[in-house]
Chain A
Amino acid sequence: MSDTPQADSVGIVASRIVAIEQPLTLACGEVLERHELEIECYGELNGRGDNAILICHALSGHHHAAGYHPGDSRPGWWDHYIGAGKPIDTSRFFVVCPTNIGSCFGSTGPLSINPATGRAWGAEFPPLRARDWVNSQRLLMDCLGINRWAAVVGGSLGGMQAMRWSLEYPELLDHCVVIASAMKLSAQNIAFNEIARRAIKSDPDFCNGDYAAQGRSPQRGLALARMIGHVTYLSDALMGQKFGRDLRLGDFTTGSADPVQFEIESYLNHQGDKFSGVFDANSYLLITKMLDYFDLAREYNNDPQAAFNCARCQFQVISFSSDWRFAPDRSREIVDALVAAGRDVSYCEIESDQGHDAFLLPNPRYQAALGAYLARAAETVERRQ
């Protein structure tokens, strides 16, 4: 990885905290009197405040989507897609990426102080729904002077949020881009999330979520949770290709008593340890629950067409052939409901062996499809001027 940003990179970036002083009533009924969002922005907002793109991050994502923080050798998590001339073109759009409430990267969440007790919320942080994130982002629009989103874009859980945006505030977005997502999780998905939660809760250092107050951290449980998740984000083919049965340590020589370690073991352990060092266990529990509860059409009599009848924007839906966590069939269900509701929609199933993670990685066809779609969105904005 190079230390000097590429020409099409947004370059050195800094995040900032936006304090939202209006009360936010959560879906569970609790009210956050005020809350904070840590955000990053790239590009320039136009005079009409209508060329903004909202980036909705996924389960473990955050505000640092593109560019480099000073001293970092690795760019933000979606740097392949955000920059001048990239699919999310910062020379045409003002790109906004907040860390959502409930997560652990600066925005109000379990690590923040609960004003009622003067102590960190920890496990007491109220349960969240995707609509809470949407409502928080709606308040963020006013703070930033944004009148309308040219597009709301998200992958995985971010795609769920983007769809929720299209139903909750139909008049406030032109386009909705839903990548590697679903209208609701399958039983298998919920099962994987529950295994991850149980891994965390089984760690003796979890202390019923009160670990921080006791100076402990359930890092073993969190690492295990991440390892389980990570397996489901990759495809069998890619794992075979990347790691195969290659050995990291030892060999199979007859009679050898040396321990043997496969490359995949080493890789997964590294991923788990890296994650457990930066993510908060209570946030992980909170957000996986939010994923499980998400059901786009529940309040529309379980009729997805009725749900999308409320939308006004145009849609792009993208899936990846080897994604078995959010399989192409789940995206096709979205598309079918959109067509039945008479909404404009384009759908691509991108050939990839990278599993669910494909939505974060470079892929020429994916880049071209997203880029061409958003170029139309930019033309719509520029025609209004």
Chain B
Amino acid sequence: MRDDFGFITRWIAPNSRVLDLGCGDGALLHELAQKHAVRGYGLEIDPDSIQACIARGVNVIEQDLNNSLDNFADQSFDTVVMTQALQAMRYPHLVLDEMLRIGRQCIVTFPNFGQWRARAYLTLQGRMPVTKQLSYQWYDTPNIHFFTYRDFEQLCSERGIAILQRKRLATGWPDRWLTGFMPNVFTETAVYQLSRR
């Protein structure tokens, strides 16, 4: 299971209703359904991922997140989740607004571009970072908005979004011990639980 999934499953109440935006192969929803009796739906546009969801018995709906989400009613889900996809949205701030409209709470995870490895890559090589986690070249990456841990906190405060909980994850050593010390430098993946303030 992916690192960020562990926290997500802890922050979602059993038997609740979950919408997963960009649900991939349905692994998170499958886990939530099996272990927490969560009733979930995933939105996805990649045909192979959709096929994987169907094969697992995960409710998957083919829908492009960059188009309107207004087919989902206000506060119609307990939790709206988006893992590692915010940076690929055309307008991340508007997607966040929609998530907070549809869900009573939201969980967002994203890669922190302020991590020292990305900074070092850019500083020393003078080229856009290509990391294990984000292995695309600048011209073919689906990740069209690079932002940092600090950028995200700033966005939340400007847009009236309450941060209920946050987790700072890193895989490398010594990063994983230092994310609390200098979050914007050492966090690799940020996990947020949000609600409307």
A346 and B55 in contact, given A335-B61, A340-B73 (Cβ under 8 angstroms): no
A337 nearest in chain B by CB position:
B71
A-side contacts of B71, CB under 8 Å: 332, 336
A-side contacts of B8, CB under 8 Å: none
On whether the beta carbons of A372 and B54 are closer than 8 Å, the reply is yes
**Max chain A C-beta neighbours (<10 A), residue from B59, B63, B71:** B59
Contact of B39 among A335, A342, A348 (CB under 8 A): A342
The yes or no answer to A375 lying at the interface (CB within 8 A) is yes
**Chain A interface secondary structure, helix, strand, loop or mixed?**
helix
A-side contacts of B160, CB under 8 Å: none
On whether the beta carbons of B51 and A369 are closer than 8 Å, the reply is yes
B-side contacts of A298, CB under 8 Å: none
On whether the beta carbons of A373 and B72 are closer than 8 Å, the reply is no
B-side contacts of A342, CB under 8 Å: 17, 39
On whether the beta carbons of A346 and B59 are closer than 8 Å, the reply is yes
Residues of chain A at interface, number, CB under 8 A: 20
A346 and B17 in contact, given A332-B71, A369-B54, A373-B54 (Cβ under 8 angstroms): no
On whether the beta carbons of B73 and A347 are closer than 8 Å, the reply is no
A318 nearest in chain B by CB position:
B62
**Max chain A C-beta neighbours (<10 A), residue from B39, B51, B61:** B61
CB distance from B16 to the nearest CB of A (A): 12
B-side contacts of A345, CB under 8 Å: 41, 59, 61
CB distance from A378 to the nearest CB of B (A): 12
A-side contacts of B76, CB under 8 Å: 340
How many A-B pairs with Cβ below 8 Å? 47
Please provide the chain B residues from 17 to 35 with a CB less than 8 Å away from any CB of chain A in the complex: 17
A347 and B55 in contact, given A339-B41, A340-B73, A340-B76 (Cβ under 8 angstroms): no
Q: How far is it, in angstroms, between the C-alpha of A340 and the C-alpha of B57 when the chains are bound?
A: 19
Q: How far is it, in angstroms, between the C-alpha of A342 and the C-alpha of B71 when the chains are bound?
A: 14
A347 and B62 in contact, given A332-B71, A339-B41, A372-B54 (Cβ under 8 angstroms): yes
On whether the beta carbons of B39 and A369 are closer than 8 Å, the reply is no
The yes or no answer to B47 lying at the interface (CB within 8 A) is yes
The yes or no answer to B60 lying at the interface (CB within 8 A) is yes
Residues of chain B at interface, number, CB under 8 A: 20
B19 nearest in chain A by CB position:
A339
CB distance from A375 to the nearest CB of B (A): 7
On whether the beta carbons of B39 and A346 are closer than 8 Å, the reply is no
The yes or no answer to B50 lying at the interface (CB within 8 A) is yes
The yes or no answer to A260 lying at the interface (CB within 8 A) is no
CB distance from B121 to the nearest CB of A (A): 38
**Max chain A C-beta neighbours (<10 A), residue from B39, B50, B53:** B50
A333 nearest in chain B by CB position:
B71
Q: How far is it, in angstroms, between the C-alpha of A373 and the C-alpha of B73 when the chains are bound?
A: 27
Q: How far is it, in angstroms, between the C-alpha of A347 and the C-alpha of B17 when the chains are bound?
A: 18
A-side contacts of B51, CB under 8 Å: 365, 368-369, 372
Q: How far is it, in angstroms, between the C-alpha of A336 and the C-alpha of B55 when the chains are bound?
A: 22
Contact of B61 among A340, A347, A376 (CB under 8 A): A347
Contact of B54 among A340, A346, A349 (CB under 8 A): A346
B-side contacts of A335, CB under 8 Å: 61
A-side contacts of B39, CB under 8 Å: 342
On whether the beta carbons of B55 and A372 are closer than 8 Å, the reply is yes
**Chain B interface secondary structure, helix, strand, loop or mixed?**
mixed
Q: How far is it, in angstroms, between the C-alpha of A372 and the C-alpha of B50 when the chains are bound?
A: 11
A347 and B72 in contact, given A342-B39, A372-B55 (Cβ under 8 angstroms): no
B-side contacts of A72, CB under 8 Å: none
Q: How far is it, in angstroms, between the C-alpha of A332 and the C-alpha of B69 when the chains are bound?
A: 12
CB distance from A139 to the nearest CB of B (A): 32
B-side contacts of A376, CB under 8 Å: 54-55, 57
The yes or no answer to A344 lying at the interface (CB within 8 A) is yes
Please provide the chain A residues from 343 to 363 with a CB less than 8 Å away from any CB of chain B in the complex: 344-349
On whether the beta carbons of A369 and B50 are closer than 8 Å, the reply is yes
Contact of A346 among B47, B60, B72, B73 (CB under 8 A): B60
B-side contacts of A365, CB under 8 Å: 47, 51
Q: How far is it, in angstroms, between the C-alpha of A340 and the C-alpha of B71 when the chains are bound?
A: 10
CB distance from B111 to the nearest CB of A (A): 29
A-side contacts of B58, CB under 8 Å: 346
A316 nearest in chain B by CB position:
B54
Q: How far is it, in angstroms, between the C-alpha of A322 and the C-alpha of B196 when the chains are bound?
A: 40
Q: How far is it, in angstroms, between the C-alpha of A67 and the C-alpha of B39 when the chains are bound?
A: 40
On whether the beta carbons of B59 and A348 are closer than 8 Å, the reply is no
A-side contacts of B50, CB under 8 Å: 346, 348, 369
B77 nearest in chain A by CB position:
A339
On whether the beta carbons of A349 and B41 are closer than 8 Å, the reply is no
* A–B pairs, 26, beta carbons within 8 Å: A316-B54, A332-B63, A332-B71, A335-B61, A336-B71, A336-B72, A340-B73, A340-B76, A342-B17, A342-B39, A345-B61, A346-B53, A346-B58, A346-B60, A347-B60, A347-B61, A347-B62, A348-B47, A348-B54, A349-B62, A365-B47, A368-B51, A369-B54, A372-B54, A376-B54, A376-B55
Interface pairs A-B: 7 shortest CB-CB: A372-B55, A372-B54, A347-B61, A336-B71, A349-B62, A376-B57, A346-B60
